Amino acid sequence: MESISNSTNLNIRIDSNLKKEAEDLFKRLGMNMTSAINVFLTQSVKEQAIPFAIKENKPNKKLLKALKEADKMTKHPEKYKWYDNVDDLMKDLEK
């Protein structure tokens, strides 16, 4: 890592809530925001990549199937039994 005499400033804009949450996390981990960002940048340079997966949050097949089923049930409520409370649902499940 660079010596303090060879340091420079980096100004970034982030959401104030995100900053607070990150500062709280890093404090629990025994470091400050500057140290955490230096760790991130050092690891990025070392790996020549972002040091974690950045990917689109896509639902898996099971979730897609459930969403499709829920959509179908919403469009055709007359075909399905609906419950107003958990007790009635549980009674039917126990049958």
Residue 21 CB: number of other CB atoms within 10 A? 11
Asked whether residue 16 carries a pLDDT value surpassing 80, the answer given is yes
For the chain, percent of residues with pLDDT exceeding 70? 96
Residue 43 binned pLDDT confidence (cut-offs 50, 70, 90) = very high
pLDDT of residue 2: 55
What average pLDDT does the segment 35-52 reach? Answer: 96
Residue spans of the domains in the chain: they are: 4-47, 61-94
Nearest alpha carbon to residue 59 among 70, 48, 44, 45: 70
* Residues 81, 89: Cα–Cα separation, whole Å: 10
Please, is 31 exposed, middle or buried when counting C-beta atoms within 10 Å of its C-beta (0-12, 13-18, 19+)?
middle
pLDDT of residue 4: 65
Average pLDDT value over all residues in the chain:
91
Q: For residue 94, how far is the Cα from the chain centroid?
A: 36
Compare 39 and 6 and report the one with higher pLDDT: 39
* Residues 6, 31: Cα–Cα separation, whole Å: 21
Tell me the whole-structure pTM to 2 decimals. 0.54
